[in-house]
Structure 1
Amino acid sequence: MSSNIFVPVSTGALPSVIGSRPDHPVPRLGISNQSTPLSTNKFYANLFLGNQNQGAWTHPYSVSWAKGTGNAASWGLSVSHIEASQRAYGPGNPVQYFINPIGIQSMILSAVGLGSDTTLTTSELTAFSVNVHLSQSAGAPPAVTIPLVQGMGFITAIYSYSAPVIQSSVFFRSLSAVQSPQSGVAKYQVTLEDNSIWLIYLTASSGSPVALQQISNTVIQAPAEFNGTVQIAKVPQGNTTAQSTYDAAAGVYATTAQVSGSVSGSVGSYSLSWTKAGKTSNTLLMFALPHHVQSFSSGTKSGVTGIQLQTTTKGIATAVVADSWTLTESSLPTDMGFAPWSPSLRSVTSLSAAAIQLIQSVGASEVSQDMNAQTNLNSMYFSGKALSKFATIVYTLHDLGQRPDLAATGLASLKKAFALFASNQQQYPLVYETAWKGVVSTASYATNDSGADFGNTYYNDHHFHYGYFIHTAAVIGYLDPSWLAANQAWVNMLVRDVANPSTADPYFPVSRSFDWYHGHSWAKGLFESGDSKDEESSSEDAMCAYAIKMWGKTIGDANMEARGNLMLAILARTLHDYFLMESTNTIQPANFIGNKVTGILFENKIDHTTYFGTNPEYIEGIHMIPLNPSSALTRTQNFVSEEWATYFNNGRVDQVAGGWRGILYANLAIIDPVTSYNFFAQSNFDASWLDGGASRTWYLAYSAGECLLFNFFFLFLSLPFFTPADEPSRSWRIEMIAICIL
């Protein structure tokens, strides 16, 4: 049992082999007075990147700096909420993508005096929140401060001796004062020309709120300076009871959030708790995403309201009245190890005699390959994939293939290949840069190419890259615990960079990659983006969580292992809801779910494609790699069956070239392990069917293990609902059982 799983991995200095430098190619644009580590992959990054005028999505709202644009020509912070009817789709059936419009300035929070000299700065950047300040000129005190918190129920602007201005580029049709809902709170209702209805609440810090006056169809203004808050919220279309709920919560607002959690056995519980300001005697109203509502505790469920607003890429958000949420995952994969694993039938650590014999033969060849040549590359990503591949081969030979002698030889080579990185002697060594505070590749420093190694220097994809190294280390340490003492700090450094759990660690931001509000990671780092953060590979996200779990288990860090288990359980839920779409999915648009996987999921759009091509095997396969024990947790049998029937059955898989064919056949083991095994067991197997991060040794073990994990009688002889892709006959099922037993 772990009663507090969010304790630091370490707070100590980094290994001495890691150099330090104070500079980074991306400047800290407008970031004020923050010496603590800065989050690079969070929802608000556009506010300190590029022109600072791209959007930040808090869900269900988004905000952006108007910066003199639009009908209102405002210099305030614009607020947008997009309905499903406003999306653009296409082309195809199912549609290739859907995208939400940007630049719609429904409501704009500004102040008298903000003009062309206005500056936008940010402060108090955390894993869940940021404060945005708009000042009349550089160095001037803020005219208005807007705290942005994920899921915030109101967009709140704080005024200190400045006169509020509220604008709209959609045009105000009417402004009407409404009876005060609380003492010291003034309320107004606005109707825009697009027929949307918005509420405005003014709460004075002292005295009475100022009155608002409509000056034009783009400007509402207070006649005097004001100390207090202005809050705005959208009334859901057709909801006649929402206003009373908003009324009760007006005046209080969240300033930041904290995550905490505990694990007992296979049950994990985590809480999101908000720090609040304003009328703190009131209870907060915050918006939950679908996966939150599914896992709410009974106490949190009592705060669920009837207020629902569309989000851009996460379905319908539901307003909840509560100062904290508690969420429960009741099926943590605590018994998942390095061996093949199934959610229903768990791990298998012994294989059939025939499978062992073939694994020994294939493994002897693969483990003798030149590991240094395949791992000493100019890319942390590709180096990590190769190291992880060889680690899996060595493990398979040792634990499943009954060849500890071959495993010992391979382990020695693997340690040597890993030592190049642990001593920081690779082609582009790592460096700790103190501008943002993180461990990055020196590739972009050396080449002046921001895209070098997929943008690692710019904090792209760190959980993908470092997850493979963490997994490799977990296997080495499992097989040779004596290796840990000299290497644990270096591996922990990678964990701290991508998944530091605590503000007590002064070297890294909290949870750089995994977003505890969204329940999955964001891959994009310090790159301005009109559609904000995105993630392309949900499976490599799960790989990182799996690696953290296994590294924690290997080093005896129960809290790290528990966090990894909890992250995997949350990912199983969120990937099912948002990324891996079964026919029953009701969260993503009905005309899109036929794609089966999202492709690239952004905060503002989803595009069924990849950054490297549009072949179906690329788009589907990037959500498969690497096939590991966690794959069957996040990729359900129903999903894999539907995806296979959509893209790869009836011989289509055999038209796929290169390593993607091996990936597809390995993934098939989740629903049809015998066909998968026979593919990898064939005597004329072509090594070109293996991806650089994959081995035939592991794929044989994985498919053979999945075969043994099936309950023979129950699954193959009795259940009519199990239908592998090609509708096998009863005789096929009996043949499959025979192969598994052999």
Structure 2
Amino acid sequence: MTRRAHAMRLVAPALALAVTLSACTGSGTGPERATSATTPTSATSATSAAGVASLAEQKIGPLVRSLGSRAGADLKPVRLASGLTPPTNRWFSGLVYGATAQPVFPLPLSFGLTGGGFAVGLPEVDATDKTIMGGYRPVIQIGAGADSWKITRYDEMSVTLTGSAGGTEIGTVTIARGSPFVTFRASGRRTLTTNLPFTGSGSPWSLQAGEDRYDLTGSRGVSVSGGAVTVPDGGHVTLYPEPEGGDAAALARLAASPLRSTASSYRLSGSTATTRLAYSTDDGSPTAIAALPHQQAGLATGQHCDLGSYRSVLGTMKLCRGTALSWDTKTRPATAQLDLSGLADDQRAALRTQVDADVRALKPYPADTYFGGKALYRDAQLYTLAKQVGASSSATTLKSRIVEQLTKWADPSGCGSRTSLCFYYDRSNKGMVGLTHSFGSEQFNDHHFHYGYFLYAAGVMAADDPSLVKRWKPVMTLLAADIASPTDTGTFPQRRTFDPYSSHSWASGVSPFGDGNNQESASEAVNAWVGLGVWARAAGDPQLAAEGTWMQALESDSQLAYWTNFDTDDPVYKGFGHSITPLVWGGKRDYATWFSPEPAAALAILLIPMNPASGYLGTDPKRVATNLKEAMGTRGYRQTYGDLLLLYSALQGSSQRDAAVKQVASLTSIDDSLTRSYILAYLYALKF
């Protein structure tokens, strides 16, 4: 299990910059529209491949040394070559960790290691009432004579595995996100065997696997005879499935030059984030790249996507030609404060009374990184609210409480003198870990969920009191580097959890699953990048704020596209009986959660923590109503998670907001990311 028995229990418009990194939106309603703009407004020049200067190794290295390190858990990266940064939380992590390699889903293909070789196949996408399945389908099994495989190169979207036999390298296999091509390069003359025979007298050769047809191209000197493929020393072969409605001849030409590597870049201009995914081939020629539904909505002018289509668990993919895939996404402010400027006197008085009551009811902080960070986030929101409504005594109490607790967490030497409330650097697995673990955080599960709360709380408090920045900056910078380093520095991997191709994060550290990696709480992933932006602004770091803006834009867009607002007219959803998918995997999507079978939980996990920037969830008010209908059942809002459902319901419009205000006093449970006063203030802040 990656995520949890979960946390939700009773218990810049004017910013313009381009960032190059190695390695659909719509107008929403909600607090983000009601607040003043909080994205950076000063123009920033283009940055270099180093990306964010504050997260460069020359800045990060000394901070790690001052913090101190420990040997971490043995995550068993048995198929990772020495010298590579451990790739936790990746779409391909299952290939790296554990005694047995797990299948992965580069899409449109599935891929797995099988004894001495590897297997590939288009997933057979089929929907039942609660699951959209497109799992591992090893229809073409290729024997390569290897007795071991190691990942010897990877970047954000592509992976190269090297096979060996008796200690001698036999060749490499390269796969990539969005590429229909799987390429084997031979070291020495090698003969591959296949379970199905190829036909044809020359490149491309073809075979039929059920209803799907696969082609094989090769370099000079390749020969094919039935199920035997002989590749000369230094030569290569590329296997790929033909798309529906495609041009086989055009695809064969694109397959001729193998893929070498990939890289992502982005540019922020006005309210638009332009993402570019570059695919480099041996000779620099164009290749084939499959665009996912969320990318298709904003594809760049001149992007040619006429090569056919593939079915996937995320919807119909369109196959494009080019050296890169580029699309636009709407950006959204990393808002950290509700706009209460329009409060009536009686509303302000009611809020002041409720804030005082909520402060009196506060309990000691939890010691783990999830609940501890979440409680700090909650209190930082409450502190801001207390100041806004004139609850000065409560504000003083909250500031003292929050600053004292965050100062403990942000003490670089904390783990040398305490048994909790501190972070250390895990030198084995290259990342920051809280001394009190939660939900497998020592195995690198959920770091973005946890650390987003800390960054958010620290950013809110430091914006209020800039003297706190210097005190907290070393540890907060390391938390930011853990989840958002724009490059692989060797100390931290490149953007540990974030996958620019799918435009969302992966929650499991080592992904020990046959269906690939997964993510449940997409809204907490969005909150992570909002938190990153809030901290970056308080710390005076516009480059880091830009990084957060980009990831927030993509993560919120993908949440709508695959978790809460997907296009049910796409054929992939035929037979699926629900309007949300709480768990999105590489090879399937489930109407299920890790922690509860309740319909209310299935939706609530996609809403938490309903921060002031969560108005994107209300992009389509009709879909909000549809999603709520099943979640509420006959129990309404007087149930566990009813508070989150109530906040979501208000995004439909003014009448629903007014009705929600009347329901606040009768709520029977309040999530530990919220307070009753924040719920009321959020509703008051909505503008329609």
Name the TM-score, length of structure 1 as normaliser: 0.81
> Which of 396, 404, 413 is the matching residue for 1:416?
404
- Per-residue deviation, residues 49-95 of structure 1 (Å, max 9, x unmatched): 2233321111001110111xxxxxxx2111111233xx3x54xxxx1
Return the match for 1:83 from 116, 124, 141.
124
Q: Distance in 2 between matches of 1:426 and 1:635?
A: 42
Distance 1:508 1:412, change over 3 A: same
Residues 320-366 of structure 1: per-residue CA shift (max 9 Å, x gap): 1111222222x3223x52234xxxxxx55442222211111111122
Distance 1:4 1:297, change over 3 A: same
2:395 equivalent to 1:407: yes
- Deviations for 1:22-42, whole angstroms, at most 9, x for unmatched residues? 34321221211324x332011
**CA–CA distance in structure 2, aligned partners of residues 478 and 53 of structure 1:** 46
Moved more, 256-265 or 520-529: 256-265
**Number of residue pairs the alignment of both structures matches:** 630
Q: Secondary structure at the match of 2:94?
A: helix
CA distance in 2, matches of 1:348, 1:47: 50
Shift of 1:613: 1.5
1:248 corresponds in structure 2 to 253
Contact 1:306 1:318 in 2 (8 A): yes
Paired with 1:548 and 1:32, the residues of 2 have a C-alpha distance of 32
Structure 2 residue identity aligned to 1:308: S
Cα deviation, residue 270, structure 1: 2.2
> How far off its partner does 1:146 sit?
0.7
Letter in 2 for 1:455: G
From 631, 645, 651, the equivalent of 1:664 is: 645
Q: Tell me the CA shift for residue 559 of structure 1.
A: 2.1
Q: Pairwise mapping of residues 123-522 of structure 1 onto structure 2 (< 5 A)?
A: 123-137=152-166, 140-168=167-195, 171-172=196-197, 175-178=199-202, 186-192=203-209, 194-204=210-220, 209-214=221-226, 219-222=227-230, 225-237=232-244, 239=245, 241-277=246-282, 280-299=283-302, 301=303, 303-311=304-312, 313-329=313-329, 331-334=330-333, 337-340=335-338, 349-370=341-362, 373=364, 375-377=365-367, 379-399=368-388, 401-423=389-411, 424=414, 425=418, 427=420, 429-443=422-436, 453-503=438-488, 505-522=489-506
| Structure 2 residue 526 is matched with structure 1 residue 542 | yes
Secondary structure in 2 matching 1:598: coil
1:232 alignment partner AA: L
Structure 2 residue matching 1:4: 3-state secondary structure? strand
For the residues of structure 2 that align with 1:221 and 1:266, how far apart are their CA atoms? 51
Which amino acid is the alignment partner of residue 184 of structure 2? A
Change (3 A) 1:141 1:355: farther
Question: Once the 2 structures are TM-superposed, how far is the Cα of residue 591 of structure 1 from its aligned partner?
Answer: 2.5
Q: Which amino acid aligns with 1:79?
A: V
Deviation of 1:275 after TM superposition, in Å, equals 2.9
Instruction: Classify the secondary structure of the residue corresponding to 2:187.
Output: strand
| Structure 1 residue identity aligned to 2:219 | T
Aligned counterparts of 1:32 and 1:154: Cα–Cα separation in 2: 23
Q: Which residue number in structure 1 is paired with residue 90 of structure 2? A: 42
Contact 1:252–1:276 (8 Å) recurs in 2: yes
| CA–CA distance in structure 1, aligned partners of residues 211 and 649 of structure 2 | 50
**Quick one: distance in 2 between partners of 1:582 and 1:274?**
27
Counterpart AA for 1:306: L
| Residues 506/635 of structure 1: CA separation in 2 closer, same or farther (3 Å cut) | farther
- Correspondence for 2:77: 28
Q: Which has the higher contact order (CA 8 A, sep 6+)?
A: 2
Give 1:281 shift. 4.8
Q: CA deviation at 1:584?
A: 4.8
SS at match of 1:54: coil
2:366 touches 2:375 (CA, 8 Å); kept in 1?
Answer: no
- Quick one: percent identity of the two aligned structures? 20
Is this contact kept in 1: 2:485–2:493, CA < 8 A?
A: yes
Aligned partners of 1:8 and 1:501 also within 8 Å: no
Query: What is the match of residue 28 of structure 2?
Result: none
Q: Is the 8 A contact 1:148 1:255 kept in 2?
A: no
Question: d(CA) in 1 for partners of 2:572 and 2:346?
Answer: 44
Matched residue, 1:701? 681
1:728 equivalent in structure 2: none
Separation in 2 of the partners of 1:426 and 1:357?
42
Give the superposition deviation at 1:388.
Answer: 0.6
In the superposition, relative to structure 1, how do residues 527 and 198 fare at CA in structure 2: closer, same or farther (>3 Å)?
closer
Amino acid at match of 1:631: S
Instruction: Find the residue that maps to 2:236 and give its secondary structure.
Output: strand
Q: State whether structure 2 residue 103 is matched by structure 1 residue 55.
A: yes
Amino acid paired to 2:76 = P
Moved more, 461-470 or 520-529: 520-529
| Equivalent residue, structure 2, for 1:717 | none
Task: State TM-score, norm by structure 2.
Answer: 0.87
Preserved CA contact (<8 Å) 1:66 1:78: yes
The equivalent residue for 2:657 is: 673
1:9·1:500 contact (CA, 8 Å) conserved in 2?
Answer: no
Q: Give 2:627's match in structure 1, choosing from 643, 647, 662.
A: 643
Paired with 1:352 and 1:555, the residues of 2 have a C-alpha distance of 34
Bigger radius of gyration, 1 or 2? 1
Matched residue, 1:738: none
Whether the 8 Å contact between 1:339 and 1:349 is mirrored in structure 2 is no
User: CA distance change for structure 1 residues 256 and 442 in 2, over 3 Å: closer, same or farther?
Assistant: farther
Structure 2 CA distance for aligned equivalents of residues 406 and 620 of structure 1? 33
User: What displacement does 1:582 show?
Assistant: 5.6
Alpha-carbon contact 1:577-1:585 (below 8 Å) kept: no
Equivalence map 1:550-561=2 (5 Å): 550-561=534-545
1:455-513 alpha-carbon deviations (Å, 9 max, x no partner): 1000100111111111100110111111111111211211110111123x442111111
Distance 1:297 1:606 in 2: 28
Flag the 1:426–1:295 CA change in 2: closer, same or farther, 3 A: farther
Cα separation, 2, equivalents of 1:430 and 1:540: 21
Say whether residues 1:579 and 2:563 are aligned partners. yes
Equivalent residues of 1:46, 1:55 under 8 A apart: yes
Name the stretch that deviates more: 473-482 or 261-270: 261-270
1:426 positional shift: 5.8
> Which 5+ residue runs of structure 1 have no aligned equivalent?
68-74, 179-185, 341-346, 444-451, 711-742
Alignment match, 1:720: none
| Pair 1:488–1:692, CA change in 2 (3 A) | same
Q: Match of 1:100?
A: 134
Q: What is the Cα deviation at residue 570 of structure 1?
A: 2.0
Contact 2:519 2:585 survives alignment (8 Å): yes
**2: distance between equivalents of 1:545 and 1:266?**
16
Structure 1 residue 264 displacement after superposition: 2.3
SS of 1:553's equivalent? helix
Residues 506/631 of structure 1: CA separation in 2 closer, same or farther (3 Å cut): same
| Mapped contact 2:264–2:275 kept (Cα < 8 A) | yes
The letter for the 2-side match of 1:167 is: T
Instruction: Encode CA deviations 1:494-542: one digit per residue, 9 max, x unaligned.
Output: 1110111123x44211111121110111101124111110011111111
